[in-house]
A and B are shown apart, each in its own frame.
Chain A
Amino acid sequence: MGPLTRLMLQDRGGIVFLSLLLILAIAVPVLNLAVPESSSWHMPTYTLTLWGKYLCYALLALSVDLIWGFCGILSLGHGAFFALGGYAMGMYLMRQIGPRGVYGNPELPDFMVFLNWSELPWYWLGFDMFWFAMLMVILAPGVLAFVFGWFAFRSRVTGVYFSIITQALTFALMLAFFRNEMGFGGNNGLTDFKDLLGYDLQADSTRVALFMFSALALALGYLACRFIVSSKLGRVLIAIRDTEERTRFVGYKVESYKVALFTFSAVLAGIAGALYVPQVGIINPGEFAPLNSIEVVVWVAVGGRGTLYGAAAGAVLVNYAKTYLTGAFPELWLYGLGALFVLVTLLLPQGLAGLFRLLRRREA
C-alpha cells in the first residue's frame, strides 16, 4: 500500500470521497438484497439503478475535470465519448439477444431485419464476443479522441475555439447515428437487452453487480486521475493550463501532453458509458446531444473544478436534484439548472469543494 498511501496523503477530500464511495458500495447492495422488501429500510432496485447511473455520470465528470481542471482544455463534446463507449457495450448486448428478438433472427438484431438487411455489416462482427466489445469500449472513444486531438492540438486550437469544435464533433456524431443506414439502430438506438455474460439484466443481483462495478470503476478512475495529477506530469499540465507558451519554451511538447491526456480522458468517459448502458437499458443518438456535454461541464463547475472529487460529487448532487426536480416541477428544471450554474459561477468560483475548503480553513 506504499504508493497508494503516498498518493492519498495530501488529498483529504479524496479520502472522504473514497470512504463515502466505499460505504455506498456496501450499504446500497445490503439495503437492496438483504433487507426484506416489507422493511422501510429496503432500497428498491429502481433506486439502486438510479444510483448506479449517478456513479457513471460521476466517472464522466471526473474525465472532464481531469482535462478542464488541470490542463484547461474545456471539452463540450465529452458526451460523444461516453456515448461511443455506450454503443460498443450496446452492440454486445444486442448480439446477446440472439433469437429472442421480436423477429427471432439468430444473427441479425431486430432493426436490421426491419430494414430488410440480409447480413450483419462488417463493423458489427466480433461484437458477440465480450472481450472484443470491451476492447472497443476503450478503442472507439480512444482512437477518435487521439485523432481529433492530434489534429486540433497540433494546429494549436485552444480555448473557446476548441470547445466549439468539440460541440461540432458531438453534434455531427448525433446526426450520423440518427441515420438508419449507419447501422446503429437509427433514432431508436439499441435496446431490448436481455442479458450480459449470461446474467439476466432484469435480475436484482445483476443490477447490484453492475452498481458495484460502477463504484469500482469510479474509485479506480479517481485513483488513476489522482496518480496523474500528483505526478510530475500533473505539474506540467498545470503549467500548460496557466502559461502554455512558457511550458513550450521549457522544453515540453505541449501538443503531445494534451493529446495523451485528452485520449485518456475520453477512454474514461467511454468506460462510464459502457457501464451506464446496461443499467438504463438503452442507448440512442440522444446521448450525443450537445446539451448533454454542456451539462457535464455544469456538474464539474458546481462540484468544484480542479479537485476531481468535487467533480464526482457535483455529478451525483446535480443529477439527484435533477431526478427530484424533473419529478416535482418538470417545467422548472431547466431554469433551476441555469440558475445553479450562474449562482455557482458568481458566488462559488471553486464550486462546493471550494466552499468546504473555505469552511475548514475558518475552523482552523
Chain B
Amino acid sequence: MIWERDQTFSFVTPSSSSTDDPKPGGLFQTPLIRRDRVFDFMQRFPMQATEVDISHKTILYVEGVTISFDGFKALNDLNLYIDDGELRCIIGPNGAGKSTMMDVITGRLQPDTGMAYFGQRMNLLEKTEAEISTAGIGRKFQQPTVFENLTVYENLELAMAANKAVWPTLLARLNGEQRDRVDEVFEIIGLTEERDRLAGVLSHGQKQWLEIGMLLMQNPRLLLVDEPVAGMTPQETERTAELLTGLAGQHSVVVVEHDMAFVRSIARKVTVLHEGSVLAEGTMDAIQSDPKVIEVYLGEH
C-alpha cells in the first residue's frame, strides 16, 4: 500500500492533475482517497492560476460554506454560483449573511467549512485580501470608503491595476495608456469635473460612484457591490442603476441591496438569502410569488 501511494505522488504531474477536476469540490471532499492526483502541498507549483479559468462559464463557486460566531451561524451551508458576465442581485433581511458572504469571498473571514473558488482553479480561502483583489475580485463596501485626503484623480490612480509592490510604486509614473484608462473611467462614473477635488468633499452619491470607479480601475472580473444606493436621491439611484447594468457583460456583478424598486430595475436573476443559506433563486417575478420568500422577507414589508 505504501509503495503504491508513493508511486502516485511521484508519477502524476501537476498539469495533468489540475485539469481533470470538473468541479473543484472534488479536491476538498476526496483528497485522501483519490490516487490519480497529488496533494497541493506536494506540488512544486501549487495550483495558482494567473488567469482566471472560466472554461465552465462560472466565475464564482461558493459551496457548503458555514461560519459561526459564538454559536450563531452567520452562514449555514451556503451554495452560490455566479456565471461569467452575469448581473446578480442578492437580497435578504438583516442578518441573512449577505455581508459575511462577501467577507468570505474577499478573504476577510475564514469559514469553518466549505469552499470558495474563483473560476475553476483559484482557491480563495488560501489567499490574502490583497491577492484576491489583484486576481480580479473588487469589492465596494456599504459605507463609501474613499481616500478622503487624496484627490479624486489620485484615488483612481491608486486603484489602477499595476504592480503594487513597494519599489515599482515608488518609481511609478502614469503612461499614456494608463492616463487614457483613467479618463475612460472618469467618463463612465461621470466625475470628470471633480477630478482635482479632494475625495473627502464629494457628496455621498459621488463617493459611491468614485468607489465603483476605483473598482473598475482594477479591471476586475467580478464586482461585489454592497448596498450601492443606500442614502441616494432618486436621480442618483437611477444613474447608479444605469452604471451597474452597463457594467454587466464585461464584468460579473453581484449587488447586495435592500431597495426592492432598485433591484427590480436592474435584476435579471435574484438570490434570496435567509438565515445564512439560499432560500430561493430566480427572476424577480418568480421570487416575489414564492410563498417562502413572501413569508420571511417580502411579507414584512
- Closest chain A CB from B117 CB (angstroms): 20
B214 touches A250 (CB 8 A): yes
Give the complex CA separation of A239 and B149 in angstroms: 8
A254 to B164, CA, bound (A): 10
Given contacts A246-B147, A250-B133, contact A235 B166 (CB under 8 A): no
B288 within 8 A of A: no
Check: B171 CB closer than 8 A to any chain A CB.
Answer: yes
Q: Is the CB of B169 within 8 A of A238?
A: no
Cα–Cα, bound, A327→B158 (Å): 51
Return chain A residues, CB-CB under 8 Å to B148. 242
B170 touches A231 (CB 8 A): yes
Cα separation A250 to B164 with both chains bound (whole Å) = 9
B139 within 8 Å of A (CB atoms): yes
CB-CB under 8 A from A242, the residues of chain B are: 147-149
Is the Cβ of B164 less than 8 Å from the Cβ of A239?
no
B130 CB-CB contact with A under 8 Å: yes
Distance to closest chain A CB from B106 (angstroms) = 7
Contacts of A100 in B (CB 8 A): none
Residues of A within 8 A of B130 (CB): 248-249, 251-254
Q: Is the beta-carbon distance between B166 and A251 smaller than 8 angstroms? A: no
Cβ-defined contact, A253 with B164, below 8 A: yes
A250 lies within 8 A of B218 (CB): yes
Q: A228: CB under 8 A from chain B?
A: yes
B170 touches A249 (CB 8 A): no
A256 contact from B154, B161, B166, Cβ within 8 A: B166
Say yes or no: A232 contacts B172, CB within 8 Å.
yes
B165 interfacial by beta-carbon distance below 8 Å: yes
What is the total number of residues of chain A having a CB less than 8 Å from a CB of chain B? Answer: 23
**Minimal Cβ-Cβ distance residue in B for A254:** B130
Q: Contacts A235-B150, A242-B148, A242-B149 given; indicate if A250 touches B169 (C-beta within 8 A).
A: no
Are B165 and A253 in contact (CB-based, < 8 A)?
A: yes
CA distance A236 to B158 in the complex (A): 7
Among candidates A232, A238, A247, A248, residue contacting B149 with C-beta atoms closer than 8 Å: A238
1/0 contact string of B48-85 vs chain A (CB within 8 Å): 00000000000000000000000000000000000000
| Partner of B170 from A228, A243, A254 at Cβ < 8 Å | A228
Question: Within the complex, which residue of B147, B164, B166 is in contact with A243, where a contact is CB–CB below 8 Å?
Answer: B147
Interface presence of B129 (CB below 8 A)? yes
Report the minimum CB–CB distance from A311 to chain B (whole Å).
18
Whether A341 is near chain B, meaning CB under 8 Å from some CB there, is no
Q: Are B147 and A252 in contact (CB under 8 A)?
A: no
Q: Give the contacts of A228-277 with B (CB-CB under 8 A).
A: 228, 231-233, 235-236, 238-239, 242-243, 245-254, 256-257, 260
**What's the Cα separation between A242 and B129 when bound, in Å?**
18
Q: Taking the complex as formed, is B265 at the interface, i.e. its CB lies under 8 A from any CB of chain A?
A: no
Expressed in whole angstroms, the Cα–Cα distance for A243 and B199 within the complex equals: 13
Closest-by-CB residue of A relative to B218 is: A251
Q: Which residues of A contact B290 (CB under 8 A)?
A: none
CB–CB A251/B172 < 8 A? no
The answer to whether A233 touches B170 (Cβ under 8 A) is yes
Complex CA distance for A245 and B190, rounded to whole angstroms: 26
Taking CB atoms and an 8 Å cut-off, the chain A residues in 112-146 that contact chain B are: none
List residues of chain A with CB within 8 A of the CB of B158.
232, 235-236, 239, 247, 250, 252
State the Cβ distance, B141 to closest chain A Cβ, in Å.
Answer: 8
Contacts of A233 in B (CB 8 A): 166, 169-170, 172
Chain B residues in 8 Å Cβ range of A257: 166
1/0 contact string of B119-157 vs chain A (CB within 8 Å): 000000000111001100001010001111110001001
Residues of B within 8 A of A256 (CB): 165-166
Nearest residue in B to A231 (C-beta to C-beta)?
Answer: B170
- Our pick among A243, A251, A252, A254 for the contact of B145 (Cβ within 8 Å) is A243
Q: Which residue of B lies closest to A246 (CB)?
A: B145
Measured between alpha carbons, how far is A257 from B130 in the docked complex, in Å? 13
From B129, B141, B170, A248 is in contact (CB under 8 Å) with B129
Instruction: Tell me if B188 counts as interface (CB < 8 A to partner A).
Output: no
A242 vs B149: C-alpha distance when bound (angstroms): 8
Bound Cα distance A156, B72 (Å): 27
B170 to nearest A CB, angstroms?
4
- In chain B, what residue has the closest Cβ to A240? B147
- Is there a chain A Cβ closer than 8 Å to B47's Cβ? no
CA distance A257 to B172 in the complex (A): 15
Question: Complex Cα distance A257/B106, Å?
Answer: 21
Asked if A232 contacts B129 (CB within 8 A), the reply is no
Q: Are A232 and B157 in contact (CB under 8 A)?
A: yes
Beta-carbon contact of A260 and B166 below 8 Å: yes
Chain A residues, Cβ within 8 Å of B27? none
Q: Does B267 contact A (CB under 8 A)?
A: no
Tell me the complex Cα distance, A221–B181, Å: 35
Q: Is the CB of A251 within 8 A of B147?
A: no
**CB–CB A252/B164 < 8 A:** yes
Distance (Å) between the CB of A225 and the closest chain B CB?
12
Q: Are B171 and A238 in contact (CB under 8 A)?
A: no
Q: Residue of A at shortest CB range from B145?
A: A246
Chain A contacts to B: CB under 8 angstroms: 228, 231-233, 235-236, 238-239, 242-243, 245-254, 256-257, 260
B interface, CB within 8 angstroms of A? 106, 128-130, 133-134, 139, 141, 145-150, 154, 157-159, 161, 164-166, 169-172, 214, 218
**Supplied contacts A249-B106, A249-B130, A250-B159, 18 more A-B pairs, CB within 8 Å:** A228-B170, A231-B172, A232-B169, A232-B172, A233-B166, A233-B172, A236-B158, A238-B147, A238-B149, A243-B145, A245-B145, A249-B139, A251-B161, A252-B164, A253-B128, A253-B130, A257-B166, A260-B166
A-B contact pairs, 29 of them (CB 8 A): A228-B170, A231-B172, A232-B157, A232-B169, A232-B170, A232-B172, A233-B169, A233-B170, A235-B150, A235-B154, A236-B169, A238-B149, A239-B150, A239-B158, A242-B149, A247-B158, A248-B129, A248-B130, A249-B130, A249-B139, A250-B133, A250-B218, A251-B133, A251-B134, A251-B161, A251-B218, A252-B130, A253-B130, A256-B166
> Shortest 10 CB-CB distances between A and B: which pairs?
A251-B133, A233-B170, A232-B172, A233-B169, A239-B147, A260-B166, A246-B145, A251-B134, A248-B129, A251-B164
